[in-house]
Structure formats: structure tokens, C-alpha cells
Chain A
Amino acid sequence: MKLLTHNMLTSHVQGVTKGYPLIIKATEVKVNELEFNAQFVSRMIPKLEWKALIQAAEWLGQSQDLPSTPKPNYESVEDFLRKVHRILLEVEVVEGCLQCPESGREFPISNGVPNLLLIEDE
């Protein structure tokens, strides 16, 4: 599970109103190289919940000086874009779980795939 994907995921447990962001508890993380494309990263930045991304990076011990808000004129700051590229697309959670911040319900991540299925009465 990449952090760009995690940034979009939310808990659907019945009755939960604050099911975002899902807390990451990772037991295995890997870094998988992906070709850098400045245009793609730049376009993704405004779509992100930036605070949730920083939080996710911290949970994985991958904060590496990411600023608390995106840099102004970030489209032209390659160094910054490369850092964002790495954290969004190259760092992957292989094993662990995602926890709903409100209900505590845990969703397993196995072999890189988070399982968000709920059982019938949830």
C-alpha cells in the first residue's frame, strides 16, 4: 500500500464520523523505485490531505524533513517534489494494519493489500 493510496482511504464502520486518517501500524515496509515525474507529483499535491500525509510518513519513520505545509511555488522546486514522490509512491506498507481512529477497528494489510471489508453487522 502506497501512501498516495492511504491518503484517500477512510473507515466505513457504522456510526463513525471521524474515520480519517486510518492509523498505520506497519510491521513490514519496503521502498520500491518508481520513475520520477515532476508533472504528476505536482498535480497530486493539491489533491492531498497534507497533514494526513505527514502523519503517515511519521508513522513509518519516513518524515525526512517534509514541511508541515507544501512549499510555495512547489511546482518548480525539484528537490521538494522528489521527496514527495518518494513518500507518496515509493514507500510501501507490505504487512501491518490500518486502524480506524474512532472505533479502533483494525483492517489488515497483507502482501501490500489493505482489506477494508466489513462484516455484516459493522
Chain B
Amino acid sequence: MKLKELESCLQQVDGFEEPKILLEQYPTSPHIAGCMLYTIHNTFDDIQHKLVADLGCGCGVLSIGAAVLDAGLCVGFDIDEDALDIFKGNVEDFELSNIDMVQCDVCSIGSSYAKKFDTVIMNPPFGTKHNQGIDMQFLQTAISMASTAVYSLHKTSTRDHIQKKANDWKVKMEVIAELRYDLPASYKFHKKKSVDIQVDFIRFTPT
């Protein structure tokens, strides 16, 4: 499947109806999701016939993409029932059978799923809404869950901090790409029409 086809396909994925600010619910655009998944699949072969986890899956755009790219099974984890309902609807619309989902608090998972998944993919909350440090909690959990690799998006401004943590956790960190995350005004308090945030698309692997 070509990147354009994948993006076009992901445009059909329904997003949040009433995004919850405190959970930092922003949709991952079909373009960003497409780029991520395309790379994970074509460059690293970490999706097809693999057991994939999507942490903070929201409405499921990354999971849907992974399933379309023939993941053995993709399991989405999210705390919000409303998002998971929309995710369910998306799974039905796309008629996908290789998806499952669990409602839970990713920050409380600990090491229950240690190395159970081949690959973890995520666009975690960045920690901008009274939840500072949540991105690192997600990352730490993801690393414990994945036996092969973790693919994640993080603010470029936090790159050095993440590198230090990666060293502490003895994982190799590779910035695959720098992306501009274009967030259209999705909440009433947003003054600008859209804002560009620089994010790193990073791959973490055990050393």
C-alpha cells in the first residue's frame, strides 16, 4: 500500500466528538498517522503479523492503520469510554477483525504486560494539562511492554530530557523524523486558527 493510499484510508477514521481537555485529546491527523505507520511497516517491518499495542489509542487511528497494514492483532488501551466507543464504531466501519481494546489507566499498568507485545505504537499525551510527566510514564510503560520496538511522538523541546531517560533505562533512542503537528483549533480557548508544534517521531529499542 502506498503512503497516499494509507493516508486516504485513515481520513475515514472518525475523531473525538467532544474532546476532553484534561485528557489532552487531540486527533492524530491521517497524515501524521500515515507517515508513522508507513515507516514502521516499510522501513522496520514491525507491524505485519506482529502483536501491536497502541497506548492512549483514543479513537484508534493508529490501531486502525496497523490493522489495515495486517498486524496479527492490534490492542488499543485508553482510559476514556467515549473515545473507545468511537474507536469501536471505526472498527465496525472498517470491518476489521484484528483489533481488540482495553479500558484502563496506562499509568497504572506497571509491568503487567512485560515484553508481551512485539511493537508498541503511540501518540501519548504531552503533559500540558496538569499532568506533567505523563509522557514519560507512557514511555516507560511502553518500553516494558515491547519486545522489539516502541514508536512514539514527543515534543522536540523535550528531546534532551528523553535522551537522558533513555540512557537511564538502557534503551536506544533514534529520532526517525521531525514532524510538524498541526493542531487546528479544537477547544474554545484556542485563540489561533491552528498551531504548529514540533514533534519528534522516535524509535526506542532495547540495547
Tell me how many residue pairs across A and B have CB atoms closer than 8 Å: 68
Contact: A40 with B112, CB < 8 Å? Answer: no
B113 within 8 A of A: yes
Contact: A113 with B102, CB < 8 Å? Answer: yes
Contact: B88 with A113, CB < 8 Å? Answer: yes
User: Quick one: which of A19-36 are within 8 Å of B by CB?
Assistant: 32-35
Which chain B residue has the least Cβ–Cβ distance from A47? Answer: B116
Contacts of A32 in B (CB 8 A): 97
Contacts of B81 in A (CB 8 A): 115
Expressed in whole angstroms, the minimum distance between the Cβ of B206 and any Cβ of chain A is: 16
**Total interface residues in chain B, CB < 8 Å:** 25
Contacts of B51 in A (CB 8 A): 4, 40, 44, 47
Chain B binder among A8-16, A60-68, A71-79: A8-16
Q: Which of B49, B102, B105 contacts A9 (CB 8 A)?
A: B102
B183 within 8 A of A: no
**Total interface residues in chain A, CB < 8 Å:** 28
Which chain A residue has the least Cβ–Cβ distance from B50? Answer: A40
Contacts of B156 in A (CB 8 A): none
A52 within 8 A of B: no
- Which residues from chain A sit less than 8 Å from chain B, CB to CB? 1-2, 4-5, 8-10, 12, 32-35, 37, 39-40, 43-44, 47, 89-90, 111-118
